[in-house]
Amino acid sequence: MQVARPPEFGHTEASRFNRHADRLRERHGERVWRVGVDGGFSCPHRIAGRGAGGCTYCAPSAGAATYLGAGARENLDSQIERGLSFLRRRYAARAFFLYFQAYSSTNAPPERLRAVYEEGLAHGGGALFRGLVVSTRPDCVDEEKAELLASFAAGGLEVWVELGLQSAHDRTLARIRRGHDFAAFERARRRLELPGLRTAAHLILGLPGESRSDMVASARAAAELGLEGVKFHDLQLARGSALAAEYLAGEISLWDRRSLPAVVADCLEVLPPECEVIRLCADMPAGERLAPRFVADKTKMYEAVEAELVSRGTRQGSARGRG
């Protein structure tokens, strides 16, 4: 089934790529903030004996929002309250999506998923959240779960499913112990092609053994699936991860990050103009990061990518159909 495309996609005058934040502002009339929570679903891939201990880059926190801190196992209401008060205090935020961010947030039977999602969405009387975002693995989404997610979209919420892909190359997926291949991602994407559902892929730039053209090929493969969004991360090594151990043992080295804006620009050029770019680089808390020691701040990265596209005279989608 074809996903109905939002009519308002496209670039702003100010940007050479299709910024998700800008599209959200258009759809919701103001800036939208995500309240990240841990729904307590864990990740099947981290369970010893089933998932061989998880992906090699996975941080012990598995992506839980930093403001949750030690409270990541608190009940949902407390987590949401903590997130809201942080975002309101720090950014005067007023519009929110509920974001099941940590681990694999579809890793439970559909009836439990429904109960947990509904419990979170009911916070504050039920009219607080304008959208639902669920981050998960491609092998954790079956037809029933896809239908469940679509039912929230039918109820009026903007619903995004963020699927970890990281690389479209099976040799890399095996190397970083993802536990699925590219075909599994394609199948999940097809299952999620339901009215109102938007799907985004996570891609990591700089994975061990990957060349610049490998990374661009992954963006191109994501583009061919007609995804509604893409989220780029640059490889950063989390303390306690298997990849950090490989680094400390001298088995891998990090790529030259000075090429990051150029590689991101290459990837943007192959994405369809309507695909929303949710982020351009990782945002790992400094205390969690073993390497690299210094990373440019997010704003500088965005400026560097815009400058790269300006200097090339290109924009998102420029290279569609080429090479």
Contact between 202 and ligand SF4 per CB under 6 A = no
**Residue 293: burial class (beta carbons within 10 Å; 0-12, 13-18, 19+):** exposed
Task: Return the number of the residue (165 or 304) whose C-beta is nearest ligand SF4.
Answer: 165
| In the complex, minimum distance from the CB of residue 317 to ligand SF4, in angstroms, rounded to a whole number | 29
* E strands present in 19-121: 32-37, 95-100
Length of the chain as a residue count: 323
Question: Which C-beta is closer to ligand SF4: that of 43 or that of 244?
Answer: 43
Judged by CB under 6 A, the residue of 24, 43, 207, 215 near ligand SF4 is: 43
Which residue stretch of 54-62, 151-159, 291-299, 315-323 sits at the interface with ligand SF4 (rule: CB under 6 A)? 54-62
Question: What order of strands is seen across the sheet that includes strand 158-166?
Answer: 32-37, 95-100, 129-136, 158-166, 197-205, 229-234, 276-279
Q: Does 231 bind ligand SF4 (CB under 6 A)?
A: no
Residues 264-323 that bind ligand SF4 (CB under 6 A): none
The Cα 26–Cα 8 span in angstroms is 8
The correct pick among 137, 145, 189, 202 for binding ligand SF4 (CB under 6 A) is 137
Which helix (DSSP H) or strand (DSSP E) does residue 150 occupy? helix 143-154
**Cβ 177 to ligand SF4, closest distance in Å?**
8
Q: Does 164 bind ligand SF4 (CB under 6 A)?
A: yes
User: How many helices and strands (H and E) does the chain possess?
Assistant: 10, 9
**Residues interacting with ligand SF4, by CB under 6 A?**
43, 45-46, 54-55, 58, 62, 103-104, 137, 164
